[in-house]
Structure formats: C-alpha cells, structure tokens
Amino acid sequence: MKTRITQLFGIRHPIIQGGMHMVGYAELAAAVSNAGGLGIITGLTQKTPDNLAREIARCREMTDAPFGVNLTFLPMVSSPDYPGLVDAIIRGGIKIVETAGNNPQQYLPALKEAGIKVIHKCTSVRHALKAQSIGCDALSIDGFECGGHPGEDDIPNMILLPRAADALEVPFVASGGMADGRSLVAALALGADGVNMGTRFLATREAPVHENVKAAIVAASERDTRLIMRPLRNTERVLVNSAVERILEMEQARGRDLRFEDIADEVSGVYGAVMKEGKPDIGAWSCGMVAGLIDDVPSVSDLIARIMSQADAIIRDRLAAMVP
C-alpha cells in the first residue's frame, strides 16, 4: 500500500507504532520496522542521552529498516536533558522523530539540519495547523478514543479526521481506536494517510512488558477505560482498576480544589511496577478504548500481515463490489 506516509518515511505499510513509556524499547521498535511498519523508541524512557544512544545502537543491530524516536516535551520542574537527547538522536543517525506534548519549535532547526523528518502528535485541528506552520513534516491526529492524553476537546476520530483532512496540507496518520484492517481502511477513507497504534502493539509478543498487562488488555472491553485528571486539565485515558476508582473518588470529593499531589501516588512513578513487575492494579496506566477490539497477543509480524490482508480484502472485495 502506497500513501504519503509510506513515501515520506520509506516504509512498506502505513502503520506506525506510537511511543509508549516503558514499552517503546528496541525489541518492539525493531519488530515493527522489520514487519514493514515504523517502529518507535521512546526517548524519555531512556532518561539520559547516553542511555538513548545505546538503545538506538541496540535497535540498529536488530533491524536495517527505518525506525524513529519519540520525544515528548513535558512541563516539568526538573526537565529532562532535551538538548542532550536531541544530540543523541542526531548522532545516532535517526531520520524520523515523533514529537508530542509541548510545542517542539525550538528543537526543529537542529533536527531539520540533520535531515530528520518530524511527525508531531496533536489532539485538535488548531494544534495541528500550528504544528504544520512551524515546519513539522507530518502529524499524528489523536482522537478522543486514544489511550493516554486525548486533549480537552473530546472530539472522536469520525469527526476529527475529516476535519484534519480539510484543513491540513501535510500528511497525517490516525491515532486512537486503531487495531485492524477495518481501522486502517476507515482512517484512509476519512482522509488519513495511515494509522498510529499504541494499545494494539502493547498486546503483542514482542512488547517488553509483563504478561499480566497483556492479559488485562485482552480481558478488557471497550467500556473498561476511564478518564482521569480532568479537573487538572491534563486528561488521561487509562484502563479501569481499583487504583483508578480511588482516583476518581478523590477527584469527585475534591472537585475544583483537587491538586496533583492528592493523586500523585497512584499516577506518578507506577509504570515500572505495572509494566515490568506485572502489577496492573497498582496505579493508573494508559490504555485506549480499542482494548475492546483486542482478543489475542500475536507476534508483531503476524499482526501487521493480518491488518494489511484484511484491509486489502475490504478494499478489493467488499468496497469494490459496491461500485457498479
């Protein structure tokens, strides 16, 4: 399948693996790239430029195909060494960077000078237009269905994607609710040039997380996610569990007086226990509504082959048969 995204990034299939904290390691990124998609290493998971440089080198030993690095710009009291991480990306020969969070404008000149293509994650058309105007090469449009931070507008992809298609000139992929060939064909029909998948890739054999996490996703339905931190205007979609229920109770009790410190113990610093130790109920962790469409844990190569085969059948058989 040839789209503006496959041509821009030099990949065979218009499928991108989103950057996920404590998930986007070399094993998963290489598996996605080897299967024809675009694998992504999560930069902030590596914490330091030296660690990121080693992870990039490790991924190069696993794949000759293009892969990228996610760099999320967060408003933090103790900010990561962003200049050092950007330098590690450049020195590592990376040619694709997925940015997210705050405006990446100050780092674009260095990335562009190194010949790096930048795809920025946006949850609204207005933010997408801004990202396009500052020189981002492509965009990931995240609908309300997505795991993690869906923004504050609550616009689902059935509306957000065609709005983006009407407004944007650069290519973009659909993120949120993407799981199979039906998702891909629907995204293409709505104007996207491919899909970005997070939760679906989390439930694969190569995802370097505990089996309990994968089992929790497979067991979940589309009704088993919740939105937390809405009073803080830092909304996050997470898989429901006992910790999430406690967070929601605290939010309801405190209302507008809620402070991050009130829920920090069950939101901040829990990913190690969840993803590595297999304690999915210990705190809040990102998961999309797409969990309702996930009922197995295939290899990455089998998953991507299945998506492309299903998409091809839908386009050539079902849709083509509707045209006289």
In tens digits, what is the pLDDT along the chain, a chain of 324 residues? 999 999 999 999 999 999 999 999 999 999 999 999 999 999 999 999 999 999 999 999 999 999 999 999 987 667 899 999 999 999 999 999 999 999 999 999 999 999 999 999 999 999 999 999 999 999 999 999 999 999 999 999 999 999 999 999 999 999 999 999 999 999 999 999 999 999 999 999 999 999 999 999 999 999 999 999 999 999 999 999 999 999 999 999 999 899 999 999 999 999 999 999 999 999 999 999 999 999 999 999 999 999 999 999 999 999 999 988
CA 91 to chain centre: 24
Does residue 235 lie within any of the structural domains? Answer: yes
10, 78: one domain: yes
Is the CB of residue 181 less than 8 Å from the CB of residue 309?
A: yes
Q: How many CA atoms lie within 13 A of 210 on its CB side?
A: 14
Would you give the DSSP letter of residue 200? Answer: H
Of 177, 208, 239, which closes a domain? 208
Q: What is the CATH number of the domain that holds 137?
A: 3.20.20.70
Does residue 215 lie within any of the structural domains? Answer: no
Does residue 304 lie within any of the structural domains? Answer: no
What are the tens digits of pLDDT across the range 22-51?
A: 999 999 999 999 999 999 999 999 999 999
Does residue 295 lie within any of the structural domains? Answer: no
Structure tokens at 70: 């996610």
Is the CB of residue 300 less than 8 Å from the CB of residue 204?
A: yes
278, 156: one domain: no
229, 135: one domain: no
- Buried residues in 234-254 as b, exposed as e (16+ CB within 10 A): ebbbbbbbebbeebbeebeee
239, 187: one domain: no
CA-to-CA distance for 324 and 321, rounded, in angstroms? 7
What are the tens digits of pLDDT across the range 218-247?
A: 999 999 999 999 999 999 999 999 999 999
DSSP character string of 208-242: -S-HHHHHHHHH--TT-EEEE-GGGT--EEEE--H
pLDDT at 79: 84
73, 134: one domain: yes
Does residue 214 lie within any of the structural domains? Answer: no
Does residue 313 lie within any of the structural domains? Answer: no
142, 196: one domain: yes
176, 264: one domain: no
pLDDT at 76: 66
**Gap between the terminal Cα atoms of the chain:** 24
Place of tokens 């439930």: 203
The amino acid that residue 154 corresponds to is: D
Does residue 301 lie within any of the structural domains? Answer: no
67, 160: one domain: yes
95, 155: one domain: yes
pLDDT at 75: 73
201, 251: one domain: no
Is the CB of residue 171 less than 8 Å from the CB of residue 8?
A: yes
CA 62 to chain centre: 21
Of 159, 183, 208, which closes a domain? 208
Does residue 131 lie within any of the structural domains? Answer: yes
Q: How many domains does the chain have?
A: 2
pLDDT at 323: 87
Distances (CA, A) of 32 to 95, 107, 142, 182: 16, 27, 20, 19
Strand 225-228 relative to strand 236-239, pairing: antiparallel
CA-to-CA distance for 264 and 129, rounded, in angstroms? 33
Residues of the domain holding 255: 221-286
CA-to-CA distance for 96 and 266, rounded, in angstroms? 33
Would you give the DSSP letter of residue 167? Answer: H
201, 228: one domain: no
25, 171: one domain: yes
Structure tokens at 279: 């304690």
The amino acid that residue 38 corresponds to is: L
